[in-house]
Chain A
């Protein structure tokens, strides 16, 4: 009886793992095959990888999209970490009743669905387009600005700051450091793991974001990877090998981060609830 239970448990876990991994396997294998082989159901690696890459580079602005996505994700991550950690630190170290009230109002913004912000934001940037073109529609600044500050990340930093030994701050004040100096010279270096976890979640959500770039980006040379994949996927005569390769390339950076920094990756995801 016990053995039967054990076996069924392993069968269940193996099935779940198989279902989780199979799409990855199929996507990688298909990236090396011709479109015909993919639809024929081939499950073995082929020799068409370079040919697929050549077509992908020919058909799309892959490198540009890759560079755009990377640029947007990096700028978003750096500014998001700066703004959110300053705020999380400020709310926790300089706690007051009024600030806690403001903090709760900020938290309420987590309930706002992006679909409700999309139209006013679009109009806001469309109006800016006429006055300050580098800030308007179809710019990367417009992609970045509305997504840089999230209440979630501020909350995340505030929670982590609760663990921070406050005596060190007082020691810094005694040494004559300014408040900003304490933040930069003492807080920042000690909170490296928190920053790493926050960087991973922010980078990932920026790298993957679709709806807002879809609304705000209009020309091909400004488009991001998710937009490129979505366009490829909705073409009338899709080349399956080429599309799979594009999906593999878009997934690769986040997958690499996951395998190299698994601990921080998971910490970032669940950090908010601790």
Chain B
């Protein structure tokens, strides 16, 4: 584009020279990044694929064909980890997105008193590191944790609730923790796109007699669809990779009730007798799931329009 202006002055030959030179300079600018991404993302991906056809202890690996993949579909721990991850995904992501949408619509009201305070308060959990808030939640919901103490002081319960050692409640605790940490984060995305919506649309809807709930589902949600798609894809990828929270709140227990796929990969590689080959096979299962779920989400969002 820059060069077009000078087309009249420069002869074809020098123009081509300059173009080629500027192209080369451009490659210079991007070269470090391209190299780094290939070395630290694509090359390891390829290595993991090769590993997934190997087995053995530690560095002593040999090719075994598709045995790892056969083992994968018969592995009950893997199936538990997958179903746990999907429980988090199916319950937590919709709750969080709806909650974030509702909050952002309420906070987008310019006449709301204390708007800045509410916004900052709800966003605040985003400043915590995953390990820090996970450890915090472990003690909030512990046997002697403040939640149990408060509930008992209020005489709502007579004995402490075993949030972390009951299989169902442990999952509930994990879901509550993740929702606490990420709702404000998603809300900020919705708020910033809500600010771009022309207010006269709502005025027109009001004149036509649309109620608040009607406006929310017929105007707000359709207009926010691209950003809802973006946040649901990032949340899905995040949930499929869930690790820090579960490791630090429940350690995957009780039993394997809260174990996630990432944690299972970690355990296979670094806690049990290291089996890098099989762990790589499990990790490819996540890759496939991320691709499938992202495609589905794109399709679902695309069909409605």
Binding site for B on A (CB under 8 A): 9, 12-13, 16-17, 19-21, 23-24, 26-27, 38-41, 43, 83-84, 86-87, 89-91, 93-96, 99, 102, 106, 109, 111-124, 126, 145-146, 148-149, 151, 154, 166, 169-170, 173, 179, 183, 207-208, 210-211, 214-215, 225-226, 229-230, 232-234, 240, 243-244, 247, 250-251, 254-255, 258, 262, 266, 269-270, 273
Contacts and interface: CB of A to CB of B under 8 A. Distances in A.
A255 B128 CA distance: 8
A247 B188 contact: no
Nearest to A24: B124
Given A21-B121, A102-B30, A254 B127 contact: yes
B36 A148 contact: yes
B189 A273 contact: yes
Nearest to B244: A210
Given A118-B265, A179-B25, A234-B251, A109 B41 contact: yes
A99 B22 CA distance: 13
Nearest to A178: B25
Contacts of A207: 129
A13 B283 CA distance: 40
14 contacts: A39-B144, A41-B150, A41-B153, A84-B33, A89-B29, A96-B23, A99-B30, A117-B44, A120-B45, A126-B59, A170-B5, A208-B130, A250-B129, A273-B192
* Chain B residues touching A, majority SS: helix
B121 A114 contact: no
A116 B44 CA distance: 8
A55 to B, nearest CB: 17
Contacts of A149: 32-33, 36-37, 40
A123 B34 CA distance: 22
Interface of B: 1-2, 5, 22-23, 25-30, 32-34, 36-37, 40-45, 47-48, 51, 59, 103, 106-107, 114, 117-118, 120-133, 135-140, 144, 146, 149-150, 153, 180, 184-185, 188-189, 192-193, 227, 230, 237, 240-241, 243-244, 247-248, 251, 261-262, 265-266, 269-270, 276, 279-280, 283-284, 286-287, 290-291, 294
Contacts of B129: 207-208, 210, 225-226, 250-251, 254
A120 B61 CA distance: 13
A149 B32 CA distance: 9
A161 to B, nearest CB: 11
Contact of A233 (B120, B135, B144, B280): B135
